[in-house]
Structure 1
């Protein structure tokens, strides 16, 4: 399968969401409704079923975790230090949020559809093993560094949001039933299968629609720097770590690199709003990294496949 045939359907769905929202019939309230269906029903059903069917013996491998998360944590630290060096600002929250902008990947909206298109659903177990801890780790780290500027109520809301996150719950439930070898009733399984079918298309449509709500602000230089670190330096570090340090097989390494090469996730903007730091920079980074990822992801696909 050519790189174009993999990436074109993703660009098509995201572009459709963008133009139908920016120029067409959809408004923010309607997109919000589609987002609720996508992230609270369809994607959780998709994740649950794939984790339920996953070959767990091949999914949870320590070397894969280390090959992905060691570079992610390193880039988080680099981004945090870089912001302080570039601006001379000692605000812990701002530095941490910038580190998040350099290291947090849009694994659900971009990474997942791309990996399914390029490698097939048989590698989904590897994907879920990584993304289960992705948000919890990076968001917790950001909040810990920003703790002095975050109220106790904000921290409680964050912890509650992580625990009851539909992505985490669906993957955890699928994992538990898989481990216990519980058989799902046939009609219920078929119902979940139907519910899961529009997940990836809806996710890409919502991604494009959300881009129409964000603008590139005056701090575009900081945003562009974060986007390039996110799209180029992070996946390069994951590739080098996985290939040379852990000698991971080509398919499994492709999963890790493509996840890390995904653009900055929109949830990073929500974290920036919660800690009240760099909201405009993060929003700009979301836009720039998503647009530039069309080029960088194509290059990574050509290198890996």
Structure 2
């Protein structure tokens, strides 16, 4: 357990330091956004490029990893929607936001530093495979469900005004446009293309990628903490606490059950710990875009991040036998 605490404690100390800096206004409010942009535009793409270009995946099949991980996403998403309807009285769009909050783990800002510290380079290789499809799949499915929910809410009189019918083609085009402007995608694709060349990644370019990628973890964690005061806890806590339980307990538990049948030990451990990461900011971005569930998603982000300091420690200890 001492080893696990030495892995997890610095992670949440950095998050706490970021939150303290924001709360005491030691840095300008724009600092958090600047740090986030740096992580998304430079640090993480460089890390993913280097990881994919030089990874050793062995004989394990990525499809089994993806199947195991998303086996946990589906029930968490569905149960999150049910909880929002029954405990929070949410409309259909709000229920989808709750589903996103229960299943959209923060793989970039929390998952990457946790995987790297807990499982080393091999763990980061496995996480990179999950990240490679996580964002496009979650964005596409969430947008489609939100569009369908918006139409249903309009027909039932919950919302006013015309709402366009949901369209798979329009959603895929929209997601495609968003992904085409995402630097993370360029890092993943660039690393895959470099890998196909068979060339070694050496020299000054490799050193720059290493230095940039090395900043991803600590800056991402500080940025997470710095952003937390922006999401105040509001309203009743029954639904947010239940959704947090789905994100931090149910989702990784299902991944563990399915992955135990399909994955080698290291990939299983990475998938479970990734699934046990707290809710990412994407849940709140969806909520603000569709103008529903903002308070619920913001509260889940804060509660899940705080509670994950304990639960992630437990999951890492369990998966590593520490």
Task: Give the Cα–Cα distance (whole angstroms) in 2 for the partners of residues 145 and 194 of structure 1.
Answer: 40
Q: Is 1:167 aligned with 2:184?
A: yes
Task: Give the Cα–Cα distance (whole angstroms) in 2 for the partners of residues 87 and 24 of structure 1.
Answer: 33
The 5 A counterparts of 1:144-155 are: 144-148=144-148, 149=150
- The equivalent of 1:267 in structure 2 is 282
1:256–1:185 CA distance, 2 compared to 1 (3 A): closer
Task: Give the Cα–Cα distance (whole angstroms) in 1 for the partners of residues 176 and 230 of structure 2.
Answer: 27
Find the partner of 2:213 among 189, 193, 196. Answer: 196
- The equivalent of 1:100 in structure 2 is 100
- The equivalent of 1:223 in structure 2 is 240
Post-superposition offset of 1:179:
2.0
Post-superposition offset of 1:60:
4.4
Q: Is 1:234 aligned with 2:256?
A: no
Q: Is 1:250 aligned with 2:265?
A: yes
Gaps of 5+ in 1: none
**Deviation >4 Å, runs of 4+:** 56-60, 154-158
Provide Cα deviations, 1:211-266, integer angstroms capped at 9, x if missing partner: 121111113221111111100111111111111x32x2222111000000000001
SS in 2 for 1:217: coil
SS in 2 for 1:212: helix
The 5 A counterparts of 1:171-186 are: 171-184=188-201, 186=203
**Structure 1 stretch displaced more, 77-86 or 130-139:** 77-86
Provide Cα deviations, 1:174-229, integer angstroms capped at 9, x if missing partner: 01211232445622222222222211110001011011211111132211111111
Post-superposition offset of 1:158:
4.4
Q: Is 1:111 aligned with 2:117?
A: no
Task: Give the Cα–Cα distance (whole angstroms) in 1 for the partners of residues 288 and 278 of structure 2.
Answer: 19
Post-superposition offset of 1:46:
1.1
Task: Give the Cα–Cα distance (whole angstroms) in 1 for the partners of residues 202 and 215 of structure 2.
Answer: 22
Post-superposition offset of 1:164:
2.5
- The equivalent of 2:64 in structure 1 is 63
Task: Give the Cα–Cα distance (whole angstroms) in 2 for the partners of residues 157 and 272 of structure 1.
Answer: 17
**Structure 1 stretch displaced more, 294-303 or 179-188:** 179-188
Task: Give the Cα–Cα distance (whole angstroms) in 2 for the partners of residues 264 and 208 of structure 1.
Answer: 13
TM-score, reference length from structure 1? 0.92
Post-superposition offset of 1:87:
4.6
Report the count of equivalent residues: 302
- The equivalent of 2:309 in structure 1 is 294
Is the contact between residue 216 and residue 287 of structure 1 (CA under 8 Å) also seen in structure 2? yes
Task: Give the Cα–Cα distance (whole angstroms) in 2 for the partners of residues 54 and 66 of structure 1.
Answer: 20
Post-superposition offset of 1:23:
0.8
Is the contact between residue 93 and residue 142 of structure 1 (CA under 8 Å) also seen in structure 2? no
Task: Give the Cα–Cα distance (whole angstroms) in 1 for the partners of residues 60 and 23 of structure 2.
Answer: 40
Provide Cα deviations, 1:84-112, integer angstroms capped at 9, x if missing partner: 333555x4322211111111100111111
Is the contact between residue 45 and residue 196 of structure 1 (CA under 8 Å) also seen in structure 2? yes
Task: Give the Cα–Cα distance (whole angstroms) in 2 for the partners of residues 168 and 59 of structure 1.
Answer: 23
Gaps of 5+ in 2: 151-162
Once superposed, what is the RMSD of the aligned Cα atoms?
Answer: 2.2
- The equivalent of 2:142 in structure 1 is 142
